[in-house]
């Protein structure tokens, strides 16, 4: 975060104004949707905007294979593409490796627990995404010191991550309880149905 970036508000506004094309469905193998976006191609376009050329192998991770594993991550990668197409970012001509790291790893981490579109709809999540993208690329918001930027990022991100970790723990516990609740009921002792399928 040693370099000075744009005003945070310009990025959060850009996220709030994300065009519907970037909120569309990512293309995933086996899902019949002719309008779905080929995220690997979109990522390649963003790399080109930054003057970078990526070998096909580095785009493999943006080809959706499974809905549960890839849909949310790729949906967020599309939103990050929109953010990285901002004039300020393209003016930096960022290195391919850094761009791929943000679009790949950062999107994967954030998408693990938050629906992608919340990063455009919810003010706190917009700020979180903007701060994380800046930080991963080595920038901090204009008018913030390194210490301020670090504090705010860890505050907004840390609180959310703790909340999500707790939610994840509770979800796992509940799944266990559901399995136990179902397993201990003897089959068909359950309740009357007026027919048996």
Partner 1 sequence: MTLAGKPDVNLPGGAWESDRDYCPTLTPAGARMLEKLRGHPCAPVYRNRSGNKLQAAEVAALHAYEREVMDAVVAWSAAAPPSWLPDFLKVTYATVPYYRACGSPPARLADVAPISRAELAHDIAAFVPDDADLARMINFQTTGTTGHPLLIASHPLVAGRYLAFHKRALRRFGVTLRHGAGQVGVMLLGHQRRCFTYVSVTPTMDESGLAKINLHPDDWRQAEDRARYLDAMAPELIAGDPISFAELLTLPMTHKPAALMSVSMMLLPGMRARLEQRFGCPVLDIYSLNEVGPVAVYDEQAGGHVLLQHRLYVEILDSAGQPVPDGARGEITVTGGFNFCLPLVRYRTGDYASLAHGPHGPVLVGLAGRSPLRYRTVNGEWINNIDITHALKPLAIALFGVHQHGDGSVALRLAPGAMPQADRARALLAPFFGAIAVETLLAEDKIIQYTSDLQEAAV
Residues near partner 1, by CB under 8 A: 24-25, 28, 30-33, 36, 67-68, 71-72, 75-76, 111, 115-118, 171, 174-179, 181-183, 185, 187-197
Instruction: List, in sequence order, every residue forming a beta bridge with 3; answer none if it has no partner.
Output: 139
Unique residue bearing structure tokens 């201990």: 184
Q: Give the nearer residue to partner 1 in terms of CB position, either 103 or 135.
A: 103
**What does the block give as tokens for 20?**
């519907």
CB of 179 to partner 1, least distance (A): 5
CB of 46 to partner 1, least distance (A): 20
Q: Give the nearer residue to partner 1 in terms of CB position, either 34 or 56.
A: 34
- Per-residue CA distances from 81 to 16, 19, 191 (Å): 14, 12, 52
Q: Give the nearer residue to partner 1 in terms of CB position, either 69 or 146.
A: 69
CA distance 92 to 90: 5
38 three-class SS: coil
CB of 144 to partner 1, least distance (A): 30
CB of 192 to partner 1, least distance (A): 5
Q: Give the nearer residue to partner 1 in terms of CB position, either 30 or 55.
A: 30
CB of 187 to partner 1, least distance (A): 4
- Per-residue CA distances from 47 to 34, 53, 109, 197 (Å): 24, 6, 21, 55
189-195 long-range contacts (CB < 8 A, ≥24 apart) are: none
Q: Give the nearer residue to partner 1 in terms of CB position, either 31 or 146.
A: 31
The answer to whether residues 54 and 89 touch, using CB atoms and an 8 Å cutoff, is no
**Is 145 exposed, middle or buried, given 0-12, 13-18 or 19+ CB atoms closer than 10 A?**
exposed
């Amino acid at each position: 975060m040693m370099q000075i970036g744009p005003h945070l508000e310009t990025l959060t506004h850009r996220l709030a104004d994300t065009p519907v094309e970037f909120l569309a469905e990512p293309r995933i193998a086996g899902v019949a949707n002719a309008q779905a976006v080929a995220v690997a191609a979109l990522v390649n376009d963003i790399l080109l905007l930054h003057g970078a050329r990526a070998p096909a192998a580095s785009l493999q991770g943006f080809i959706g294979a499974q809905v549960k594993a890839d849909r949310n991550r790729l949906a967020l990668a599309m939103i990050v593409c929109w953010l990285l197409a901002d004039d300020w970012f393209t003016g930096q001509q960022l290195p391919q490796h850094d761009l791929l790291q943000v679009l790949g790893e950062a999107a994967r981490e954030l998408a693990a627990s938050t629906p992608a579109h919340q990063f455009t709809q919810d003010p706190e999540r917009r700020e979180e995404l903007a701060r994380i993208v800046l930080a991963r690329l080595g920038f901090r918001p204009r008018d913030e010191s390194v210490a301020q930027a670090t504090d705010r990022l860890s505050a907004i991100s840390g609180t959310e991550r703790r909340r999500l970790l707790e939610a994840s723990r509770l979800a796992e516990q509940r799944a266990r309880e559901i399995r136990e609740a179902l397993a201990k009921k003897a089959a068909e002792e359950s309740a009357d149905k007026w027919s048996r399928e």
